[in-house]
């Protein structure tokens, strides 16, 4: 499972989901799905997100082992 800090980072900067979506050229629904962990962005989109927040991939995304398996 991949967790991310996008909602937290977006809120820290006071950026709406719509603003982030426009900057990344994606839909608001995609932002929502990524924030909820229902959709993992492509590598290209993940890198765009990192560039937008001026952070490294590992500062935003984290691979969490599923202990129930």
pLDDT tens for residues 1-51?
999 999 999 999 999 999 999 999 999 999 999 999 999 999 999 999 999
Q: How many domains does the chain have?
A: 1
Residue at 21 is within a domain: yes
Residue 52 and residue 38 in contact, taking contact as beta carbons nearer than 8 Å: no
Residue at 9 is within a domain: yes
Domain containing 43: what range?
A: 2-63
Residue at 69 is within a domain: no
Is the entire prediction scored with pTM above 0.75? yes
Rounded Cα distance, 28 and 31, in Å: 5
Tell me the CATH number at 14.
1.10.260.40
Residues 6+ apart with CB under 8 A from 3: 37, 61, 62, 64
Residue 30 and residue 39 in contact, taking contact as beta carbons nearer than 8 Å: yes
Residue at 68 is within a domain: no
Torsion angle (degrees, nearest 10) of CA 17, 18, 24, 27: 100
């Amino acid at each position: 499972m991949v967790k991310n800090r996008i909602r937290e980072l977006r809120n820290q900067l006071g950026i709406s989901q719509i603003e982030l979506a426009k900057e990344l050229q994606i839909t608001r629904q995609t932002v929502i799905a990524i924030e909820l962990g229902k959709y993992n962005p492509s590598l290209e989109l993940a890198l765009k997100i990192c560039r937008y927040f001026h952070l490294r991939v590992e500062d935003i995304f984290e691979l969490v082992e599923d202990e129930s398996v």
